[in-house]
Structure 1
Amino acid sequence: MDPVVAGLVIVAVGLLLCFLGVGSVHLAVITSGFGLGWMLGDLFGASQSTALLIGVLGGLVAWIAVAFVFKLAAFFIGIVTGAVIGAKLYGTVSGDSGNWVLAAIIVVAVAAACGFLADRYRRRALLWLTTIGGAGIVLGGLGRVSPDSLGFLRDPAPGWEQVVSFLAWVALALAGWVVQRRLFARRLGIERDEEPSKR
């Protein structure tokens, strides 16, 4: 598969999660599952096609699992999205170390913490988790689309590349947070400021 096409698919999935994740439980589950599968495959050196296939299978497995445990959907979405965040965090801070033990510890710890946050704070936590996870997927995809100029977003070298990659991740996540708060204010239970009544 063409790396640019694969990268664009990954960017599209990340944008859906980052900017529309709270809008649909199904969308959040499928895109989070895809992102987790793809990021783990990518972190450990899978080919483009294999990483995409792992992503598709991850999305399908996540969606089926939530169908069976729908009462725990927020917790499950939190765990899957948290694993995406953990994988991106590991990729950002570790560079290309390939340390499976450290990766597993970071991914599991962040996934568990995010699962509990999502279960406790529901929509508000999912708003943050979907934007942070989606932004991480987008940056990984952009690194695939243009590896020469944007490759550091996917696999930053220690130093300025890590800083810029992290700041881009934060900026994109904040943009997704603002958009989702506006689009899904009612679903999130955010009361809009009422216009002052005209006298």
Structure 2
Amino acid sequence: MSGLAVLLVGVVLCFWGIGSLHVAVLAAGFGLGWLIADLFNASLTTLFLFALIGAVTAWVVTSLIFKFSAYFIGGLTGAMAGAKLADVLQHGDSNWALSGIVIVSVGVASAFLADRYRARALLWLTSIGGASMILGGLGRTTDSLAFLHDPAEGWEQVTSTLLWIALAGAGWFVQRRLFPEKLQLDTRNGARK
């Protein structure tokens, strides 16, 4: 059950994130809350609680400071990518300090990129963040895919990372084709207007 919820939210964020900023904010907040709680092997109830608090908090804060929404969404999706990266870097035992440094660093860098490059950066960030959620959800659906959620051995880490890159690329491609007007693309040749 928990894997399917994360998988569905990840699919929405990865393949439809740039289509609606409200959906992107809710999905990114949900994912960030989930991924941070998941770093520390929280129970299913705690995971959902953190995810819901993350979604509501992200939406309320973004609504209050809508002028800075690209910055905030970039920070949220970057923090999701940072949480996935922290998970990949530290299989097994999670270190709060290292996790915090990675999550905050990637989140802040992503926020500045999103503020500077707007839709283009958000296209990448929602694809990368959604892909991390998809892998986390798939890893929870069946034991044979558990390595996607918690890669321990070298081949598992490599496979998980390559799948993360491939899914993010697929999300980028789909969003670019579905929402060219949001990216100010000329639909005839894919160049900027």
Q: TM-score range by the shorter chain?
A: over 0.9
In structure 1, runs of 5+ residues without a counterpart are: 195-199
1:52 is the counterpart of 2:48: yes
What is the percentage of aligned positions where both structures have the same residue? 54
Aligned partner of residue 18 in structure 2, secondary structure: helix
- Equivalent in 131, 134, 142 of residue 135 of structure 1: 131
State the partner residue of 2:76.
80
Moved segments of 4+, more than 6 Å: none
Q: How many angstroms does 1:193 deviate by?
A: 2.3
State the partner residue of 1:68.
64
TM-score, scaled to structure 1? 0.93
How many angstroms apart in 2 are the aligned matches of 1:84 and 1:33?
Answer: 9
State the partner residue of 1:181.
176
Q: How many angstroms does 1:192 deviate by?
A: 1.9
- Equivalent in 150, 153, 164 of residue 148 of structure 2: 153
Q: What pairs with 1:111-126 in structure 2 (closer than 5 Å)?
A: 111-126=107-122
Q: In structure 1, what residue type is equivalent to 2:152?
A: A
How many angstroms apart in 1 are the aligned matches of 2:163 and 2:83?
Answer: 16
CA deviations 1:35-83 (Å, max 9, x no partner) are: 0000011111110121011101100000000010000000000111110
TM-score, scaled to structure 2? 0.96
1:36 is the counterpart of 2:32: yes
1:94 is the counterpart of 2:90: yes
Aligned partner of residue 23 in structure 1, secondary structure: coil
Q: Which has the larger radius of gyration?
A: 1
Aligned partner of residue 187 in structure 1, secondary structure: coil
How many angstroms apart in 1 are the aligned matches of 2:139 and 2:44?
Answer: 12
How many angstroms apart in 1 are the aligned matches of 2:95 and 2:57?
Answer: 26
Q: How many angstroms does 1:97 deviate by?
A: 2.2
Aligned partner of residue 22 in structure 1, secondary structure: coil
The structure with the greater share of residues assigned to helix is 1
CA deviations 1:129-163 (Å, max 9, x no partner) are: 000000000100111111x2111111101310000
In structure 2, runs of 5+ residues without a counterpart are: none
How many angstroms apart in 1 are the aligned matches of 2:63 and 2:92?
Answer: 36
Give the total of aligned pairs: 189
Verify the 8 A CA contact 1:82 1:111 in the aligned structure 2: yes
